[in-house]
Amino acid sequence: MKMQKIIDRETKRIIEKVRSEILGFYNLYRLDLDSLCRHLGISLLEGEYEDENVSGALTKNDGYTIVINSNHSLPRKRFTIAHELGHYYAIENGSEIAKEFMEQNGNLIKDYLVVNRSDKSEIDENNYQVERQANMIGASILMPDEMVKSLVNENLDIPEMAIKFGVSESAMSYRLKILNFDPMETLYS
Ligand SMILES: [Zn+2]
C-alpha cells in the first residue's frame, strides 16, 4: 500500500533523528524512561483503570502527560511508556497523521491491549497507521537495532536479552522477527 510506504519512510526518518537525541539515556542497554520523560518535560503518571485492557494514554494540554496502567507488570509499563513516546515523537517531528489523530481525539490518545480491527472503516485505517507508527518508534528506542545485533552476536538468548532491555520476552522475540533474526534460531543457537 502506497500510504503505508510513505508513512514508513517518515517513521524511519523520525527514528533516525530520535536515536541520536537519546543516546545518553541508556544504562548499558536499558533506556532510562523516567529520565528521558523528565528531560522532555513530559509528566509520567500511573493510573488505576477499571478496564484492564487499557495500557495507558498520552494527553496534550499545556504540556504532555503519559499515564500508564498501574496494575500492569514493569515490562508492560515500559513498553507502554515507549509507545506513548512514539506518539509524542511522531507528533513533535512533523507526522501529519499523528498530529491529526491527536487533534481529532481531543488531545487524548488512549491505548488498549487489544485493538479491534474487525471494522475496516477509513477511521480505523488511520488509527491502525498511527498505532503502528508509535509501536515502531517505541520498539526502536527500547530495543535499538544496533544493540540487538550486538547481543545476538554475543549469543544471548531471548530471556537474557529481554532482561537487558527491560522488556517482555514476547516483545523481544517480536523485535527479533522484525529485525530479521529468527527467534527460534536465536533461542537455540
Ligand atoms: Zn497508541
* C-alpha 146 – ligand 1 centre gap (Å): 25
Residue 29's Cβ-count burial label (10 Å; 0-12, 13-18, 19+) is middle
Q: How many angstroms separate the CA atoms of 5 and 63, rounded?
A: 31
Considering only the C-alpha atoms of the chain, give the largest distance between any 2 of them, rounded to a whole number of Å.
50
Cα of 136 to ligand 1 centre, how many Å? 11
* pLDDT at residue 189, rounded to an integer: 44
Sheet strands (E) in the chain? 26-27, 30-31, 43-47, 54-60, 64-69, 108-112
Ligand 1 centroid vs 156 CA: distance in angstroms? 30
pLDDT per residue of the chain (189 residues) written in tens, 0 to 9: 688 888 899 999 999 999 999 999 999 999 999 999 999 999 999 999 988 899 999 999 999 999 999 999 999 999 999 999 999 999 999 999 999 999 999 999 999 876 555 555 555 788 889 999 999 999 999 999 999 999 999 999 999 999 999 999 999 999 999 998 876 666 554
Tell me which amino acid residue 128 is: Y
Cα 59 to averaged position of ligand 1 atoms, centre (Å): 11
Q: How many other CB atoms are there within 10 angstroms of residue 7's CB atom? A: 21
Please state whether beta strands 54-60 and 64-69 pair in parallel, antiparallel, or not at all (unpaired): antiparallel
> What spatial distance separates the first Cα and last Cα of the chain, rounded to whole Å?
36
Distance 150 CA to ligand 1 centre (A): 29
pTM: 0.91
Distance from the alpha carbon of residue 170 to the mean position of ligand 1, in angstroms: 18
CA of 188 to the centre of ligand 1 (A): 33
Query: Would you state the pLDDT for residue 114?
Result: 60
Residue 130: which of 19, 4, 17, 2 has the closest Cα? 4
pLDDT for 3 equals 83
